[in-house]
């Protein structure tokens, strides 16, 4: 096939991503002409960029629905069931994030903020459709680089600079680990194409303890664990969540986890000779590594969340624990029991991802809506009596907290239940230990989620609403002014 036809065929498989990236280019090229040299923009400019963002996502959704599935593609992209599903999850949650960012950004930087969001969404989708190690790595970087900008835009205080630099340096370190591991995989397989790597691994039996492959996969897992906020690659999360805006924290709590899970499901099955991610059954050593990381991650995340007095730091540790729950599904993908489905754990993870995303984004949206610029909600004390002054936001946050805690009848309950059954049905000592520890951690997590609900509904409000200005001010501040 001529090179032009191959390029045209490959481009036809990534039309949703092309739409998103084209919109990003338009925003970055046009925005400077709509802002003065002093950084002033016409009022309401963010609404135009927000509408353009939603239109772009809508066009990408239409292209996603119309995109055909490919079978055994050898080119740079392949649209399998996993890629089709991930595109849907990414684009739908991307629309929610765009709505969250809409009123949380200034007119002068709105174009850059929305462009970074679209670039991140395109990066996640490129990882899911990539059929090449280079494509996977480029997609990971297309997620990371715009995130640096999104963390810094609109903030000029020392704390935002600190967390941006911290995230930037640690992200570069994790990317270096991933790239080093991918280089080793290329050296073993002699190709960067995932289909070729799969064939080579199946023929040579690379899954049977090849030492170089083990080192390569450990490097890749360590680098991607940064995005999953898995212990011990988690320590940046509390500081970054506390030092950035709730809208940016909402994106950080979900999007990196999606791209991390997808990257693992793209690379690891190919290295073990599996044709499809759903056929992946981790080896004994990898299963133990994922299980240990899962146990430590969800336990540390939940125990540290119990100690927090800051809402954003509590949600950061909560996000870490949810990364541990997801690792449970990856550790038990496949089954040692006769008749166990190879996709049980994977299906549980893929169900858990969008449920967690909706609940997490909902909590940050409620926090953003309930607070003001003069008095943002940051400490747990700020939530005292929130139901009295912001009943709608308190109710929305309560529903989302129920889901995050895995309490019935929310989707979070069914998500954790699926993970529990996936681990229990594998019927091994390791998997059942994972199931029990997951259940115990779910109870611990419900404790601090219910505590937040109790603060909103059963504590006396520490704020007073000024009817004239419509702003929330601390009672202590009002009393001091009157004195």
What tens digit of pLDDT does each residue of 242-276 get? 888 888 888 888 999 999 999 988 888 877 766 56
pLDDT at 438: 92
Three-state secondary structure call for residue 73:
coil
- 391 part of a folded domain: yes
- 168 part of a folded domain: no
Mean pLDDT of the chain: 82
Per DSSP, the chain holds a count of helices (H) and strands (E) of 19, 2
- 426 part of a folded domain: yes
Of how many residues is the chain composed? 483
DSSP annotation of 41 reads B
Three-state secondary structure call for residue 471:
strand
* Residue 190: both structure tokens together: 């002699």
Distances 112 to 20, 46, 106, 115, 118 between C-alpha atoms, Å:
14, 10, 10, 5, 10
CA distance 144 to 142: 6
**Cα atoms in the Cβ-side hemisphere of radius 13 Å centred on 77:** 25
CA distance 373 to 366: 14
Q: For residue range 326-344, what is the model confidence (pLDDT) as tens digits?
A: 999 888 875 443 344 445 8
pLDDT at 339: 42
- 133 part of a folded domain: no
* Residue 139: both structure tokens together: 């997609």
Residue 291 has pLDDT above 50, yes or no: yes
CA distance 120 to 42: 27
- 478 part of a folded domain: yes
- 330 part of a folded domain: yes
pLDDT at 38: 72
- 409 burial level (CB within 10 Å; 0-12, 13-18, 19+): exposed
pLDDT at 62: 93
pLDDT at 247: 84
- For residue 35, what are the β-bridge partners? 41
Three-state secondary structure call for residue 372:
coil
CA distance 348 to 331: 11
Q: How many domains does the chain have?
A: 1
- Min mean pLDDT across 136-140, 341-345, 356-360 is at 341-345
Whole-prediction pTM value? 0.87
- 129 part of a folded domain: no
Residue 374 has pLDDT above 70, yes or no: no
pLDDT at 40: 76
Question: What range defines the domain where residue 347 resides?
Answer: 296-483
* Residue 342: both structure tokens together: 């190879």
Give Cα 257 distance to the centre of its chain: 4
Burial 9-29, CB ≥16 within 10 A → b, else e: eeeebbbbbebbbebbeebee
Q: For residue range 142-152, what is the model confidence (pLDDT) as tens digits?
A: 999 998 888 87
Maximum mean pLDDT: which of 103-112, 235-244, 351-360: 351-360
The average pLDDT across 30-52 equals 82
- 64 part of a folded domain: no
């Amino acid at each position: 096939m001529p090179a032009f036809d191959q390029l045209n065929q490959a481009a036809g498989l990534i039309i949703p991503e092309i739409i998103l990236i084209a919109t990003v280019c338009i925003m970055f090229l046009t925005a400077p002409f709509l802002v003065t040299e002093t950084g002033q923009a016409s009022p309401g400019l963010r609404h135009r960029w927000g509408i353009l963002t939603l239109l772009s996502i809508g066009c990408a959704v239409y292209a996603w629905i119309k995109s055909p599935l490919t079978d055994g593609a050898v080119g740079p992209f392949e649209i399998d069931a996993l890629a089709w599903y991930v595109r849907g999850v990414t684009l739908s949650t991307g629309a929610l994030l765009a709505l969250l960012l809409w009123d949380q950004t200034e007119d002068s930087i709105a174009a850059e903020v929305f462009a970074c969001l679209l670039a991140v969404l395109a990066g996640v989708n490129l990882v899911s459709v990539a059929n090449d190690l280079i494509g996977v790595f480029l997609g990971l970087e297309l997620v990371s680089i715009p995130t640096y900008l999104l963390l810094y835009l609109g903030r000029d205080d020392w704390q935002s600079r600190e967390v941006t630099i911290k995230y930037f340096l640690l992200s570069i370190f994790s990317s270096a680990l991933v790239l080093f591991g991918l280089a080793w995989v290329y050296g073993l397989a002699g190709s960067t194409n995932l289909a070729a790597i799969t064939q080579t691994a199946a023929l040579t039996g690379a899954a049977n303890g090849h030492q170089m492959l083990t080192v390569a996969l450990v490097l890749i897992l360590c680098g991607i664990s940064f995005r999953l906020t898995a212990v011990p690659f988690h320590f940046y999360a509390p500081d970054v969540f506390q030092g950035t805006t709730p809208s940016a924290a909402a994106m950080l709590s979900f999007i990196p986890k999606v791209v991390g899970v997808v990257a693992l499901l793209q690379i690891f099955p190919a290295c073990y000779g599996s044709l499809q991610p759903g056929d992946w059954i981790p080896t004994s050593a990898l299963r133990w590594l994922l299980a240990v990381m899962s146990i430590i991650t969800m336990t540390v995340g939940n125990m540290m969340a119990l100690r927090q007095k800051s809402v954003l730091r509590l949600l950061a540790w909560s996000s870490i624990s949810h990364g541990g729950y997801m690792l449970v599904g990856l550790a038990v993908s496949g089954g040692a029991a006769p008749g166990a489905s190879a996709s049980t754990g994977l299906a549980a993870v893929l169900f858990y991802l969008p449920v967690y995303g909706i609940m997490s984004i909902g909590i940050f949206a409620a926090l953003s809506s309930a607070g003001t610029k003069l008095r943002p909600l940051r400490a747990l004390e700020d939530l005292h009596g929130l139901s009295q002054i912001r009943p709608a936001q308190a109710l929305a946050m309560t529903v989302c907290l129920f889901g995050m805690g895995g309490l019935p009848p929310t989707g979070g309950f069914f998500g954790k239940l699926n993970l529990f059954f996936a681990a229990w049905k594998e019927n091994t000592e390791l998997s059942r230990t994972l199931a029990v520890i997951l259940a115990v951690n779910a109870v611990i997590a419900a404790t601090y989620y219910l505590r937040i609900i109790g603060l909103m509904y059963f504590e006396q409000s520490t704020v007073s609403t000024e009817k004239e200005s419509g702003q929330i001010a601390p009672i202590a501040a009002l009393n001091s002014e009157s004195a």
